């Protein structure tokens, strides 16, 4: 999958940062590595002939559970865990989903109908930040999709495919290129480098809690 030279990568970075908290991305990265590690440990017990197939299934379930927990902890209201279905959460204007990329083979991601529908939501982002048609009125960006990519490009000591890198990416609507892509390590640095005075859209202001009088039925907050 070739990258599209974006005319405004900084604006795309600001858009993501405005909507997706750093802690949420860090939690997704930890979930990916944690699920991969746990899955490989459990898969090592299978016979060598079964191990690659078993590892794929087991790692999927463990990583999905960890990813679901990470999204839920950050208020992203992830879709229910259900077999091999994608877990999709929402942070700000972005749908958040994960995607395994074996050996940087980007083309395989286009096989999923669900991912195609999610990628189509980036049409307004492409129009406003990438194409930049001077004679067209850019559509207001009210939604989009951010993929958390897990690059599986290594083997552990048991011969099981191993996660080597986590990335963040905005797929083009046709999923044949990227509107934006970066390693997670490099992208997290941007939260310190860019002006982030605007709170993420999903941030909720907290009011100072006032002391309350206890009543005979008050059990307190557990």
Q: How confident is the model at residue 193 (pLDDT cuts 50, 70, 90)?
A: confident
Report yes or no on 92 lying in a domain.
yes
Report yes or no on 72 lying in a domain.
yes
If you average pLDDT over residues 74-98, what whole number do you get?
Answer: 96
Cβ neighbours for 69, distance < 8 A, ≥ 6 positions apart: 31
Q: How confident is the model at residue 54 (pLDDT cuts 50, 70, 90)?
A: confident
Q: What is the side-by-side strand order in the sheet with 144-155? A: 2-3, 177-183, 161-171, 144-155, 94-102, 88-91
Q: How far apart are CA 34 and CA 24, in angstroms?
A: 15
Summarize pLDDT for 110-146 with one digit per residue, the tens.
Answer: 667 899 999 999 999 998 888 765 555 656 789 999 9
Find out whether 188 and 26 touch, Cβ atoms under 8 Å. Answer: yes
Q: How far is CA 44 from the centre of its chain?
A: 27
Q: Which residue has the higher pLDDT, 214 or 34?
A: 34
Output the CA angle 158-159-160, nearest 5 degrees. 95
Structural domain containing residue 17: 2-192
Report yes or no on 212 lying in a domain.
no
Helix (H) / strand (E) containing 28: helix 22-43
Total tally of structural domains belonging to the chain: 1
pLDDT beyond 70 at 208: no
pLDDT, residue 189, reads 96
pLDDT beyond 70 at 15: yes
Report yes or no on 160 lying in a domain.
yes
pLDDT, residue 103, reads 72
Q: How confident is the model at residue 221 (pLDDT cuts 50, 70, 90)?
A: very low
pLDDT, residue 132, reads 62
pLDDT, residue 218, reads 33
Report yes or no on 77 lying in a domain.
yes
If you average pLDDT over residues 29-35, what whole number do you get?
Answer: 97
Report yes or no on 216 lying in a domain.
no
Span of 12-26, 88-102, 151-165, 183-197 with lowest mean pLDDT: 183-197
- Mean pLDDT across the chain, nearest whole number? 83
Report yes or no on 98 lying in a domain.
yes
DSSP 83-97: TTPPPEEEETTEEEE
Report yes or no on 215 lying in a domain.
no
């Amino acid at each position: 999958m070739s990258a599209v030279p974006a005319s405004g990568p900084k604006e795309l970075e600001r858009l993501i940062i405005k909507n997706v908290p750093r802690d949420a991305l860090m939690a997704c990265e930890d979930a990916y590595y944690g699920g991969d590690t746990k899955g490989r440990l459990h898969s090592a017990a299978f016979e060598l002939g079964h191990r690659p197939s078993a590892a794929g299934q087991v790692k999927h379930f463990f990583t999905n559970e960890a990813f679901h927990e990470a999204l839920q902890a950050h208020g992203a209201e992830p879709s229910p865990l259900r077999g091999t279905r994608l877990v999709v959460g929402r942070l700000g204007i972005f749908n958040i989903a994960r995607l395994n990329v074996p050996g940087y083979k980007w083309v395989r991601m286009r096989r999923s109908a669900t991912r195609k529908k999610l990628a189509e939501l980036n049409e307004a982002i492409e129009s406003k930040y990438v194409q930049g048609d001077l004679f067209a009125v850019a559509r207001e960006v009210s939604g989009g999709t951010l993929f958390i990519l897990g690059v599986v490009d290594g083997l552990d000591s048991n011969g099981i495919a191993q996660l080597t890198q986590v990335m963040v990416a905005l797929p083009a609507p046709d999923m044949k290129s990227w509107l934006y892509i970066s390693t997670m390590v490099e992208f997290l640095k941007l939260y310190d480098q860019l002006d982030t005075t605007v709170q993420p859209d999903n941030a909720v202001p907290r009011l100072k809690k006032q002391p309350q009088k206890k009543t005979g039925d008050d059990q307190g907050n557990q």
